[in-house]
Amino acid sequence: MNTPATPADELQTILQSAYASSAGNTSGALADYIPELAKVVPDSFGLAIASATGSLCAVGDAEVPFTIQSVSKAFTYCMAIELAGREAVLARVGVEPSGDAFNAIEFDPHTRRPFNPMVNAGAITVAGILYDRLGDGAFDAVLDRFSRAAGRRLDMDEAVYSSESATGHRNRAISHLLLATGAVTNRVEPIVDLYFRQCSIRVTAVDLAWMGATLAHMGENPATQDQVFDLRAVRDTQTVMFTCGMYDYSGNWAFDVGIPAKSGVGGGLVGVVNRQLGIGAYSPRLDAKGNSVRGVAAFSALSDELGLHAFDCTNRGSLLVERYMH
């Protein structure tokens, strides 16, 4: 007699289907402006889903390590709101989509502050806020918080960090402009160094799924029951991820996929389905906007199949997710 499929089995099948439908797409290119990132295996591809009840599904190269890069911006922003307070952070970096590339040297013309914390200028400002609060211990605090969100001890890729530090002249230029406008109030070099280090933290798609699930589960890691982030900071972080997390593709992403998310040029992509799921993806071939080609395609397939769009009205897949959660 055949055993009926469990919700976990069904979700694993859907995850494998999203993987299979995206795996054949070999378009895009590696982020060669950071020399060390140009050395990664271009066709690695992994997906993972972690639930707010502590379950995990994964497929492909979900345990292959890579550097977190700009995915880190969501989590350092959450830390900054918690440590400095919402109003203090808003006074130094806005929450409006910019419509510009992630490394644009553009500030809000009215406030002379970065548009949002998900582009480089805003993330460097956030690094400045963390450095103001934590000093030379800021990176250790960031690494510890990321590790707690992932549910295991993470580390930093020294080779990628050295490569970013050696070639990060544009980010240094942005930092000096931030200092000139008052968005950054401390010495530039340790702030930029903190930013390079946070981007060089090594994770896997499974780690990103757990980190996303931590945000989805109101700041508590659902596997370890560790309260990693403050609840109010989590709400604000998810909001900015939804409106700004995919660079100058954010509007299309919200329209088509409808999940708070953050991408990185290392090929990582994290998504948060509030109170339900964290989704992690890794595939290093990037589109022209700096987002993972396969990651975007897989998220789109999952959103459609599971009805994960924030404004989905069809309930397709929602009963499966609800059953999986219980």
Rounded Cα–Cα distance for residues 179 and 253 (Å): 32
Strand partners, 46: 60, 282
The yes-or-no answer on residue 64 being catalytic is no
Task: Give the 3-state secondary structure of residue 44.
Answer: coil
Sheet holding 268-273, edge to edge: 56-60, 46-51, 277-282, 268-273, 261-263
Catalytic hit among 247, 262, 270, 292: 247
The yes-or-no answer on residue 265 being catalytic is yes
Which CATH number fits the domain 7-11+32-325, given the four candidates 2.40.10.120, 1.20.1250.20, 3.40.710.10, 3.90.1170.50? Answer: 3.40.710.10
Catalytic hit among 93, 265, 273, 296: 265
User: Residue 112: left (phi > 0), alpha (psi -120 to 50), or beta?
Assistant: left
Q: CB of 33 within 8 A of CB of 251?
A: no
Catalytic hit among 19, 40, 44, 73: 73
The yes-or-no answer on residue 262 being catalytic is no
* DSSP labels, 185-205: -S-HHHHHHHHHHHHTEEE-H
Encode pLDDT of 157-200 as tens digits.
999 999 999 999 999 999 999 999 988 988 899 999 999 999 99
Q: CB of 70 within 8 A of CB of 195?
A: no
Encode pLDDT of 129-152 as tens digits.
999 999 999 999 999 999 999 999
pLDDT band at residue 104 under the 50/70/90 scheme: low
Catalytic hit among 22, 44, 51, 70: 70
Encode pLDDT of 224-281 as tens digits.
999 999 999 999 999 999 999 998 899 999 999 999 999 999 999 999 999 999 999 9
How many C-beta atoms lie closer than 10 Å to residue 89's C-beta? Answer: 22
The yes-or-no answer on residue 33 being catalytic is no
Residue 99 has pLDDT above 60, yes or no: yes
Catalytic hit among 19, 77, 131, 195: 195
The yes-or-no answer on residue 192 being catalytic is no
